[in-house]
Amino acid sequence: MENNTSQSRRWIGYTLKYGVPLLVTVLLCILLFKDVNFSEMMDIIKNQCSFQWIALALVISIFSHVFRAMRWRIQLRAIGVNPPLFPLVLSIFGTYAVNLVLPRLGEVWRTGYIAKRQDAPFSKVFGSMVADRLADTVTVLLLTVVTFILASTQFDKYFSGENSQGLEHIKDIILSPWIWIAALAGIALVWWFLTRKTENKVVNKIQGFVRGLWDGFAAIAHMKGKGAWLILTACIWGCYFFQLYVAFYAFPFTRDILAEYGILAALVTFILSSISMAVPSNGGIGPWQWSVILALGLYGLAKGPATAFANLVMGAQTLLLIALGVFTFICIALDKNKTK
């Protein structure tokens, strides 16, 4: 009976972790393509797209992965783990490929791959990965604040009409005291659980893992090479932005947006698409296109052309990640030092 209960819980966990993101992806894709004229979309892509700009965007995307591997290496060295750069690059390629199939599992996979290859504690390596992702979150928040200030006129114009009610609803949620009370209570509960002394082996094991996780995370505060780390952070997010920016030149209608509104239009699209990656889905498929279509709508672009642009860019990026994933797992299979 106990085994059946444990197995049921395990399946529930798997369903919530992997089934929900897959369901979100499918539902958003259904809504995305519900009213889309596929022949019109393919005609726009076939006859209006300058594919050399999409190719350039993919090249820039590869550089972003390399810069991320270089930044992570600085953090790993701070906890005494010193892998070669090439396996780190492979771990980044593999992360995004795995996330296409099992959302969020890619980060766990790359942690396990590097920890096993370098014979390092999983919890510390995982902590450094969490710090890596937290740096991304902080970067997105800063860029979001700056972008919303710079593009406030455009947002006010869009939300002043029939969309004003949705904006007020979002404000009510953010400003609700119950949200902040619940957040503080959750933090206090976690702190109490991690600091309490007990003889329970399971609790002690969890506390030990969290301490190792914190060691890997906190290493960012005293690591060597902070300047290089900041420069690489700028390079990563610069690549993310410019790969979308150059894609704007692939179609005449997105080029016209740049000509009329300047680089700020690309920045707004970039920020909204970056925020959408927080939605649990397979590689951002679904939420990413929705956010790009919304952003282009702010500048008056019709849904048909916006959908063609969003789907082509996401489709090309997805194919690249699949190719890099195949390359990664072939290289890992040939790596004789993969378990050292």
Query: Each residue's pLDDT tens digit in the chain (340 positions)?
Result: 545 555 555 555 545 444 545 555 555 555 555 556 677 888 989 999 999 999 999 999 999 999 999 999 999 998 889 999 999 999 999 999 888 887 778 898 899 999 989 999 888 888 888 888 888 888 998 998 888 888 877 666 665 655 555 555 555 555 667 767 777 887 777 677 667 777 777 667 676 666 655 665 566 667 788 889 999 999 999 999 999 999 999 999 999 999 999 999 999 999 999 988 877 677 777 788 889 998 998 888 988 899 999 999 998 999 999 899 889 988 888 876 554 4
Is 164 inside a domain boundary?
yes
Within-domain flag for 308? yes
Q: Which domain holds residue 329?
A: 51-334
Report how many domains make up the chain.
Answer: 1
Task: Give domain status of residue 218, yes or no.
Answer: yes
4 within domain boundaries: no
* pLDDT at position 186: 74
Task: Write a three-state SS string for the chain.
Answer: CHHHHHHHHHHHHHHHHHHHHHHHHHHHHHHHHCCCCHHHHHHHHHHHCCHHHHHHHHHHHHHHHHHHHHHHHHHHHHCCCCCCHHHHHHHHHHHHHHHHHCCCHHHHHHHHHHHHHCCCCHHHHHHHHHHHHHHHHHHHHHHHHHHHHHCHHHHHHHHCCCCHHHHHHHHHHHHCHHHHHHHHHHHHHHHHHHHCCCCCHHHHHHHHHHHHHHHHHHHHHHCCCHHHHHHHHHHHHHHHHHHHHHHHHHCHHHHHHHHHHCHHHHHHHHHHHHHHCCCCCCCCCCHHHHHHHHHHHHCCCCHHHHHHHHHHHHHHHHHHHHHHHHHHHHHHHHCCCCCC
- Structural domain includes residue 22: no
In a domain, 21, yes or no: no
Say if 44 falls within a structural domain: no
Question: Is there a domain that residue 273 lies in?
Answer: yes
